[in-house]
Structure 1
Amino acid sequence: MSTTELLIRGTRQISAEPERRRRASRGRTGTIVIGAFLAVGALVTAFPFLWMAFASVKPRSESVAYPPQLLPQQPTFEYYVELFAQLDFGRYLVNTLLIVAICMVGLLLMAAAGYGFAKFSFPGRDALFFLVLVTMMIPGQVTMIPSYLILNGMKLTNTLIGIALPMLVSGFAVFLFRQFMTTIPTEVLEAARIDGAGEWRIFFRIVLPMSGPILAVQVVLTFIAGWNSFLWPLIIANDQNLYTLSVGLSLLNQQIATNPSLQMAASTLMVVPILIVFVVFQRYVVQGFALSGLK
């Protein structure tokens, strides 16, 4: 390359350098503006939760003061103590955790069903899977009366098992498991069979460990469904000792409507565990939905 060509190329690079700097500056400005809009949106979205959390530790005099203030001047946790010491929220919490634990057993049933639909060929498979998809179109309120009559005939009304049994399986969960497990290489399963592994061993030792992301998704969804259960426990349980946290919160709003701090403490108790579970599993939730083919 001649000296003249080198000079021409150098001149072009020097003249293009300001343009590159302007583009980089515009890119940084755009990033800052987008970040600012996202921060404002996040703050607006989180503001009701922050108000609830701060109001739960306010004395009653501050919670009803006007004009209201976001931050408590004399924070106190007396209302959390009152929930468990005087209002039976400890029993409601235990009931809710037991229902969630029973619902978690259904994860294995739904995972096994999804595995069967994904990796086995048998007569009527497509028709059965179509029926599973049809159940997703039926509102839960439609099946409450038939479910109640069935459980009443089985003598399971007014029991925690009766409360948790209709939430044990979900057509949507079976669909998610099936979509994810179709991505598991069939060659891996065939190699395990050639080595002498049985189907249950393949399921527990190979399929489930490879299905970690979708299991995390279902753990979050199952926890939320069990934790927030309200209408069905209210219908099937006549004994107040079997009520869940959601039902207890509803009773609290009806019985003690003049203490906003106590209501906010109960609401915070309902919301915080769900947020913790989601934060812990959010990376796996996003990965599970991505790999299951959902957009």
Structure 2
Amino acid sequence: MSLMKITDADGRRIPGWQLVLRYGLLLAVLALTVGPFLWQLSTSLKGPHEDIFSSPPRFLPGEPTLDNYSRVSRTIPVWDYALNSLKVATANVLTNCIGSALAGYALARMRYRGRRAATLVFILAMLVPVEGIIIAQFTTMRDLGLNNTLIAVLLPGCIAAMNVLLMRNAFLNLPHEVEEAAFVDGATAWQRFLRIALPSVKGTLAVVAIFAFMGAWDDFLWPLIVLSDPENFTLTIGLNYLHGTFANDERLVAAGTVIAVLPLIVLFACLQRFFFRGVGEGAVKG
């Protein structure tokens, strides 16, 4: 197929120069977003005798090796840190999916006094910067006796305001006729939520799960403040020690970075089918 015969979604023919420009921009964005990670991956596979600062730079390693990854585990307890991060991220996904779904359904589908005010509170909560409330969060965790625990890392972000609003918008798009028919048949609010509403917003749930996992896995500032025992450190804190102690060994730092990013790639690969469905969530197929 020639370039001049390609059409857009409306059936209009796309000129060849526009098609070349579009693909050129896409390739440029791809290079800017994926390029740094691929360079880190290449650096992590290079041996100690390869020059990673050569000019012109060599992207492919001459003698690929996994020794840098084993050196990371010998330098810091990276797998213990990764397990701590996995515990926090998994719990964060569960609390956000369950809590955001319940709150979003209540805001979108239930009728009660103060519903609009509650929605406004969630919107305003998104406008408050984390740095403005982090001291209050720390004193709250201290008063509860939770400082230096993984529970303290989890609690402030266990239900994010943005996730609640995402679920609310997804539930708002559901046709009211379906729920009204279930109500006439005697279905309770819990039955309508679990059997009708929730299965129809799987895409948005996947979006919430990915955002919650990424937020907990990548969080650095809050765990750095609330944790003091190295046994409870998350992966981001542990890799920070790797940067500070072995900053001259770029291969070691690159290997640690790849270890930290790999779970996010796996999660997105598993949920991407539902993730892209979440944009147009809410339609019920009859």
Q: TM-score, normalised by structure 1?
A: 0.85
CA gap 1:64/1:39 in 2 versus in 1, 3 angstroms: closer
2:201–2:281 contact (8 Å) kept in structure 1? no
**Counterparts of 2:4 and 2:123, CA distance in 1:** 50
Question: Which residue does the alignment assign to 1:7?
Answer: none
What is the number of residues matched between the two proteins?
Answer: 272
* Equivalent in the alignment of 1:168: 158
Residue 69 (structure 1) aligns with: 58
- Deviation for aligned residue 1:53: 0.5
C-alpha distance after superposition, 1:110-129 (max 9, x if no partner): 11000000001111111111
Aligned counterpart, 1:55 = 43
- From 250, 253, 259, the equivalent of 1:263 is 253
What is the CA deviation profile of residues 247-271 of structure 1, one whole-angstrom value per residue up to 9, with x for unaligned ones?
1111100011221111000111122
In the alignment, what sits opposite 1:29?
Answer: 16
- Runs (5+) with no aligned partner, structure 1: 1-20
Match of 2:66, as an amino acid?
F
SS in 2 for 1:246: helix
Report deviation, 1:159: 0.9
Residue 70 of structure 2 is aligned to residue 84 of structure 1: no
Mapped to 2, the partners of 1:155 and 1:180 lie a distance apart of: 37
Partners in 2 of 1:214 and 1:65 — Cα distance?
43
**Greater Rg by CA:** 1
**Which residue is 2:179 aligned to?**
189
Structure 2 unaligned residues grouped into runs of 5+: 7-12
Task: Tell me how far 1:44 sits from its aligned partner.
Answer: 4.4
Greater helix share, structure number = 1
AA aligned opposite 1:138: V
Taking every aligned residue pair, what percent have the same amino acid on both sides? 30
- Looking at structure 1, the residues matched to 3 and 252 of structure 2 have their Cα atoms a distance apart, in angstroms, of 56
> CA 1:197–1:85 in 2, change beyond 3 Å: closer, same or farther?
farther
Query: Which AA in structure 2 matches 1:59?
Result: G
Q: Could you tell me how far 1:198 is from its partner in structure 2? A: 2.6
Q: Does structure 1 retain, via aligned residues, the 8 Å contact 2:43–2:52?
A: no
The alpha-carbon distance between structure 1 residues 37 and 121, as it changes in their structure 2 partners (threshold 3 A), is closer
Decide whether the 8 Å contact of 1:111 with 1:177 is kept in 2.
yes
